[in-house]
Copies of this chain bind each other. A is one copy, B any other.
Amino acid sequence: MKVERYPENPLVKPSDVPPSRPDFEVVCAFNAGVARYRDEIILLMRVAERAISDDRVHRVPILKCEHGKEACVEIYEFKKADPMLDFKDPRIIITPEGVFLTTISHLRVARSKDGRNFVVDPKPAIFPDRPSEIYGIEDPRITEIAGVYYITYKGVAPTGISTSLAVTTDFVNFERKGIILCPENLDVCIFPEKVNGRYVALHRPIPRSFGQPNMWIAYSPDLISWGDHYFLMGVQADSWDSGRIGGGTIPIKTEHGWLEIYHGATAGDFYCLGAVLLDLDEPHRVIARGRDPIMAPEAPYETCGFVPNVIFTCGAVVDDDRLSLYYGAADMVVAAADMSISGIVEHLLSG
């Protein structure tokens, strides 16, 4: 199965993105939801920003939400020399009071006519603004249904990681619809059409007592309220997707079933992409799941970056049989690759 990475990769780098305020620096622009809007391809990227630190202190941005006041970002300072603090993982600081994220993410639009050369909007599209988003918002997926774009995204907060919905028709104005899946839940991909009269979504709860970070599926009458949940598929022991799995692209309708490109990772955080085919009429039934990844980190921008060896997709563009898959690479940049939809489906059905 042929995967053609774009020679222009990475398509968007942190240095292409203006920070949201002068004392911030953009460290990552990645994991973009994807949509066609008019004659453009839109990326709705996760942009992670850091408060500019110095030799002495790490500065960490935290959203402050007080009832009746507008939310605003505050800066916490952590002394680099403090032996009680653990800075090993670049994404977090572990303190005696709890875990803090080193960055805060918002969602930012980038626009392109050709799907390869993107211009980044100067300002955030959606910025965290409520208690469920205190540590930022991340990893959007965009589903177009009848000219309306439904955006699911992850909100991270001390009370948990939840998934919220926002809606737009123009990628300028975004209406927030609140939390649609409560903690801990992420990687929510809404199908592009109703199935047997109901909306459908893949989701990925992370339970504490029993169960792994597995993929589930749910149904909805209105895109806000979700129920009739089914366990869809689980992590596979001793495999590339043994640690966790989660939906990636919006499911793609083919004559053989719904094709989903999902991510899987080992416990050691080596992230690949795999494919699965779901029943057209009862998408909670798996028809075929690939044993091996369809794509693994190998390009330099995938193996080196903010978090090495991560490829993670939140969306794709379909053009007849060509799937143009956009993905975050090394948790730092946006890249893309082309592949054949029928090629993936044949591979799955023959496996």
> Contact: B229 with A203, CB < 8 Å?
no
Total residues of chain A contacting the partner, CB 8 A: 45
With A179-B229, A227-B180 as known contacts, state yes or no: A160 contacts B210, CB within 8 Å.
Answer: yes
Secondary structure of the A side of the interface? strand
> Contact: A210 with B157, CB < 8 Å?
yes
Q: Which of A39-47, A166-174, A214-222 is found at the contact surface with chain B?
A: A214-222
Give A162 to B208 CA distance when docked, in angstroms: 12
Determine if A61 is an interface residue (Cβ-Cβ < 8 Å). Answer: no
> Contact: A224 with B228, CB < 8 Å?
yes
Give A140 to B221 CA distance when docked, in angstroms: 26
Determine if A209 is an interface residue (Cβ-Cβ < 8 Å). Answer: yes
With A205-B183, A231-B132 as known contacts, state yes or no: A211 contacts B178, CB within 8 Å.
Answer: no
Interface string of A212-248 (1 = CB under 8 A from B): 1010101111101111111100100000000000000
> Contact: B227 with A226, CB < 8 Å?
yes
Q: Which residues of A contact B (CB under 8 A)?
A: 99, 131-132, 135, 156-162, 177-185, 203, 205-212, 214, 216, 218-222, 224-231, 234
Q: How far is the CB of A139 from the nearest CB of chain B, in Å?
A: 14
Give A162 to B181 CA distance when docked, in angstroms: 13
Give A116 to B185 CA distance when docked, in angstroms: 43
Q: How far is the CB of A212 from the nearest CB of chain B, in Å?
A: 8
Q: How far is the CB of A255 from the nearest CB of chain B, in Å?
A: 25
> Contact: B219 with A160, CB < 8 Å?
no
> Contact: A182 with B216, CB < 8 Å?
yes
